[in-house]
Amino acid sequence: MSGMRAEIGFIGLGQMGGPMAARLLADDVRLHVHDANPGAMAGFAARGAVAHGSARGVADAAAVVFACLPAQAISLAVAEEAAAGTALRVYAEMSTIGRETMAAVAATMAARGVAAVDAPVSGGPPGARAGTLAMMAAGAPEAVALVRPWLARIGRAVFVIGETPGMAQTMKLVNNLLIATNLASAFEALVMGAKAGLDPDLMLEVINASTGRSMVTETLIPKAVLPGSFDFGAATAIIAKDAELGVAEARSLGVPAWTVEQAARLWKLGVLEGYGRADMTEVIRLLEKWAGAEVRSRA
C-alpha cells in the first residue's frame, strides 16, 4: 500500500460484526464504521475508527465495505443506501441472507457500478473473537482478490466458492443446516439418556469416543450445556432464521429436506416460546421441561 492507509468500511457491529471489524483495526487501515447502536460505534471510535451516522457515510469514505447484518430486509435496505456511496467500489456482504437475497444485493450494486462479493462466515461469535472463522467468498475474481487479504485478517481460512454471488450463501446454508440438525438431534438423544438415568458427563465421554460424535458433542454441549452456562454466543433467532433459509433453498432446488424441516420446527418453536434472544443452546430446556430431566454435569 506504499505507506498509505487503506480506507475500509464495516457496517454492523453486533455479536459477529463487532469482533470481525475489530480485527481490521491496524496502522495500515483507516476503518470507517456504522451501526444502528451508537454505543457500538463509540468503542471503535475510541480505538481510532471513524464513526459515521449512516451506511451511506461509510460508503462515501471507503472503497471496500463489509456488512454484517441480522436480517434479509435490513441487508437489502443497507445495500440500497450504501450503493449510492461516492467512494464504494466493492461491497462484501457477510450476512447469512440466502441465495436470492444475495442476488438482489448484487444487482443493486451492479446498477451503481459496484462489485458485490458474497462473503458469509462460519464459526459463531467465539470464532469471530478468536479470529478462527471459516471465510467464504463468491464473486468476480478481481473483486474477490481485493477483499481476500482483509478476509484473511478476520478469519482462519478463506474459501473461494465460485464467481456468482449467492454460491457462498448456499455453502453457508449447507453448513448451518448441519449444525441446526446436529444440535436438535443431540438435544433429544441426550435428554432421553438423562431421563433414563444416564450420567450426562459419561454420555458425552462415550459419544465422543464413538460414532455419534460431532462438534456439537465435542465442544458446544460440554462448554455451554453441561455447566448450564448457555453461553455459546449465537441467538436462537439466528439459527432459526438460517434453518428456515436452508429449507427454503432446498425446496427451491427441488431437494427433499425432511430431516432438516423437522429440526427447523424445533428452532421456530424456541423462538415462539420466548428463546429468540437467548443462546441457542438454551433451547434444550424446552425438551428437558417436557421430559422432566436435565442434561447437566453432576461433577
Q: Judge whether residue 2 has pLDDT over 90.
A: no
Q: Which is the catalytic residue, given 172, 195, 223, 268?
A: 172
Q: Are residues 255 and 272 in the same domain?
A: yes
pLDDT, averaged across the chain? 96
- CB-CB contact of 108 with 85 (8 Å): no
**Is 296 part of a structural domain of the chain?**
no
107-117: pLDDT as tens digits: 999 999 999 99
pLDDT in tens, 185-232: 999 999 999 999 999 999 999 999 999 999 999 999 999 999 999 999
User: 180 and 159, same structural domain?
Assistant: no
Domain boundary, last residue among 143, 164, 185: 164
Whether residue 163 is predicted with pLDDT greater than 80 in this model: the reply is yes
Domain boundary among 164, 195, 213: 164
> Does 172 participate in catalysis according to the annotation?
yes
The overall pTM is greater than 0.75: yes
> What's the pLDDT at 1?
39
Instruction: Report residue 3's pLDDT band, with 50, 70 and 90 as the boundaries.
Output: low
Q: Domain ends where: 129, 164, 199?
A: 164
Segment 61-69 shows an average pLDDT of 98
The answer to whether residue 14 is domain-embedded is yes
Average pLDDT over every residue of 118-125: 95
227 and 79 assigned to the same domain:
no
Model confidence at 4, pLDDT cuts 50, 70, 90, reads confident
Instruction: State the total domains in the chain.
Output: 2
- Quick one: pLDDT at residue 296? 98
Residue 258, pLDDT > 50, answer yes
Q: For the domain that residue 267 is a member of, what is the CATH number?
A: 1.10.1040.10
Determine the structural domain holding residue 244 and report its residue range.
170-291
